[in-house]
Chains A and B, each alone.
Chain A
């Protein structure tokens, strides 16, 4: 924007308010937005745990056993429980917002949002099932 907008100029008679620092705590929809954004912290947190897991895997069977025992620490279980809720929230909001960012059209008509979001959920279930299968199949 041009810096010269009249809005930016000093006008003694106009009353202006400043957005409060805790603006996102005043309204449920804003708070939900903030929680959605904070889910990214738990995403990063998991990547750190994954890096530690790879490090342990590189260190041999004993180191890996140590990593698995470390995961049983009650504090870590609580952290992972919270992380799980946040990434679940991230996934749901992400899939629901996809249809807005991608206006999918079929024969000139825009597809309803539900139809764009639904394949995401189907794929999500499939991927999750595959991961569970791969990681719990013994040998």
Chain B
């Protein structure tokens, strides 16, 4: 283990310092190590006071999103060797308040997620005894891509519109709204439209497209938002031309 690489980690301990400062650590440059491995190495062997979130280490839980050399990344899928000879700068996700070191405050995202009702909404509410809702592979294919979202908030960190206007509902929440709208079992499209058709919903988006570029799960939130705009526009013209068709 001769080779090492320098990692500059943003430290913020509110009881000690007024604003974040970088602290450098030397870590082994193992070719199968990701940034998260290096952070765990620091935490276990060098400096136990370092705070960061992580869980599954395999790109499923969505906890370990951080800013690596300026780009929002899942640190469990970002290899050290990619940045050799270094140094690598690790900072918390942008556009969120920092609680401590690499830990950000995510309540805002959680509330936004909830506001779009990312679950199957039924108007008829049939009894479970009636059995499961059937769905064909084609119907599954309609929304499958959007269902891959792991709520890692990397798209929020990449979205300048969210950075400028924290009221904006944001990429992942809209993609997940679309995931349920496209689901043949769901009947909640109108309820979600009420939230998303407002200015802070889909209309704040200017299609920068960065959310799609950075998404580790290829969800394509930018596409979801534009598709939603198209749907909302059709709906608007329909209710304008045929006001009686409203429920």
- Is A1's CB under 8 angstroms from B112's CB? yes
- Is A6's CB under 8 angstroms from B108's CB? yes
The answer to the question of A13 belonging to the interface, with a C-beta cut-off of 8 Å to chain B, is yes
CB neighbours (8 Å) of B86 from chain A are none
The distance from the CB of A126 to the nearest CB of chain B, in whole angstroms, is 25
Give the residues from 87 to 131 in chain B that come closer than 8 angstroms, CB to CB, to chain A.
94-95, 97-99, 105, 107-108, 111-112, 115
CB neighbours (8 Å) of B112 from chain A are 1
- Is A108's CB under 8 angstroms from B209's CB? no
The answer to the question of B80 belonging to the interface, with a C-beta cut-off of 8 Å to chain A, is no
A19 to B95, CA, bound (A): 8
> Total interface residues on B, using CB and 8 Å?
41
CB neighbours (8 Å) of A103 from chain B are 223, 227
The distance from the CB of A60 to the nearest CB of chain B, in whole angstroms, is 43
The answer to the question of B84 belonging to the interface, with a C-beta cut-off of 8 Å to chain A, is no
- Is B223's CB under 8 angstroms from A101's CB? yes
The distance from the CB of B109 to the nearest CB of chain A, in whole angstroms, is 9
Write the chain A residue with the least CB distance to B201.
Answer: A1
A24 to B161, CA, bound (A): 11
- Is B229's CB under 8 angstroms from A13's CB? no
Write the chain B residue with the least CB distance to A14.
Answer: B97
CB neighbours (8 Å) of A14 from chain B are 14, 97-99, 105
The distance from the CB of A3 to the nearest CB of chain B, in whole angstroms, is 9
Write the chain B residue with the least CB distance to A98.
Answer: B226
CB neighbours (8 Å) of A23 from chain B are 160, 163-164
The total of Cβ contacts below 8 Å across the A-B interface reads 88
- Is B209's CB under 8 angstroms from A5's CB? no
- Is A102's CB under 8 angstroms from B213's CB? no
- Is A8's CB under 8 angstroms from B166's CB? yes
A103 to B70, CA, bound (A): 32
* Contacts from A to B (Cβ < 8 Å): 1-2, 5-8, 11-17, 19, 23-24, 27, 29-30, 33, 37, 97, 100-103, 105, 108-110
In the assembled complex, 16 residue pairs joining A and B whose CB atoms fall closer than 8 Å, in A order, are A1-B111, A5-B111, A7-B111, A8-B108, A11-B97, A11-B105, A14-B99, A16-B98, A23-B160, A27-B70, A29-B209, A29-B213, A30-B160, A103-B227, A105-B142, A108-B141
Task: Using A5-B108, A7-B166 as known contacts, list a sample of 19 further A-B pairs with CB atoms less than 8 Å apart, ordered by residue number in A.
Answer: A1-B111, A1-B115, A7-B108, A7-B111, A11-B97, A13-B14, A14-B98, A15-B12, A19-B95, A19-B164, A24-B160, A30-B160, A97-B207, A97-B209, A101-B227, A103-B227, A105-B142, A109-B138, A110-B141
